Copies of this chain bind each other. A is one copy, B any other.
């Protein structure tokens, strides 16, 4: 606290990201990172980038990356926005679209950065409960609002909301914007990108951090009608002209172009998720059906906090949220088959399992 702070700053509750441990011997299943390295084409592209060019500003429009995304998604160039990770894209989108008189609607349990943005921009919001089995019921969002946001699949639950329900929402909710955070869509979900071609009231946000294994390079993007992208560009260019550095642009293009590697690694993660879900079920865990690179799970007779500690003491790092209603769940990232076998073997050795 300082008398020099803007008055609103002392009210903020910043987002707390999952731990990035400084030690190397842990099996890290706590921040939904991809267990496989990025495409070898990324290393090649970064190593070949002429470093003497770093003296020059990067392209403020990241044209090369937007063109790659346009080709990849078969969308016009001006339907694409890029930013420094999907968190920055979300932060700019909240500013561009959700500072409205009516409240923003969002799920009660979802990505916990959303309400942080609301506090940052003084946006009124209403949390809509999930069903008992953690489904998002979009019919509950049919009420006056200044915008709607949800993650699909949702985090930390892993649940997918069907595209038909999303389209029904877009047909009804024509006076405000619907943002769909598809950070985990590539692990078996069906993207709403198709809907963005036909509806101007939906913005899709995706990331290179999960399915493209580039969490360390900070690349996110948004897809939607050109008027929405123009709104995002106005805010971005009033905040920071060059959020993507030249190396990040280069690495992202290389990752996007290696479709074969992407298909192979995402399929391995999907297969391992199914194996892990089955193995956890056999150990007496409830596993919420996941379409992501993590599972959300609890054991009927063990507390989430205790289980997390037990795993940590065995060098396995998983994520636990103390939030009421989900305090007995663990969110476990899908690692390699070997890592998940170690997880299951370790759980089997738990005295109560």
Contact = CB atoms under 8 A, between A and B. Distances in A.
A299 interface: no
B12 A38 contact: no
A36 B15 CA distance: 39
B99 A54 contact: no
B234 A12 contact: yes
Contacts of A99: 6-8
Interface stretch (A156-164, A187-195, A242-250): A242-250
A100 B8 CA distance: 9
A284 interface: no
B96 A6 contact: yes
Interface in A216-259: 216-218, 225, 227-228, 230-231, 233-248, 251
A125 B175 CA distance: 34
A75 interface: no
A268 to B, nearest CB: 13
A5 B231 contact: yes
B57 A31 contact: yes
A176 interface: yes
Contact of A240 (B35, B88, B228): B88
Contacts of A54: 37-38, 42, 213-217, 251
A163 B216 CA distance: 40
Interface string A88-130: 1001000111111000000000000000110110000000000
Given A14-B237, A91-B240, A237-B15, A215 B51 contact: no
A49 to B, nearest CB: 8
B12 A238 contact: yes
Contacts of A247: 46, 216-217, 245, 247-248, 251
Contacts of A227: 1-2, 4
B98 A6 contact: yes
Contacts of A17: 57, 60, 241-242
A241 to B, nearest CB: 5
A1 to B, nearest CB: 7
Given A57-B209, A59-B20, A240-B85, A43 B38 contact: no
A57 B37 contact: no
A89 to B, nearest CB: 9
Nearest to A98: B6
Nearest to A53: B216
B231 A2 contact: yes
Interface of A: 1-9, 12-18, 20, 28, 31, 33-38, 42-43, 46-47, 51-60, 84-85, 87-88, 91, 95-100, 116-117, 119-120, 175-177, 200-201, 209, 213-218, 225, 227-228, 230-231, 233-248, 251
Given A2-B200, A6-B99, A33-B57, 14 more contacts: A4-B231, A34-B55, A43-B52, A55-B213, A55-B215, A57-B216, A58-B215, A88-B240, A88-B243, A120-B235, A218-B242, A218-B243, A245-B248, A247-B247
30 contacts: A1-B227, A2-B227, A4-B227, A5-B97, A6-B96, A6-B97, A6-B99, A6-B100, A7-B99, A15-B241, A16-B237, A17-B241, A37-B51, A37-B52, A37-B55, A42-B51, A43-B52, A46-B46, A46-B247, A47-B51, A54-B217, A57-B209, A58-B216, A84-B242, A87-B240, A119-B238, A217-B246, A217-B247, A245-B245, A247-B248
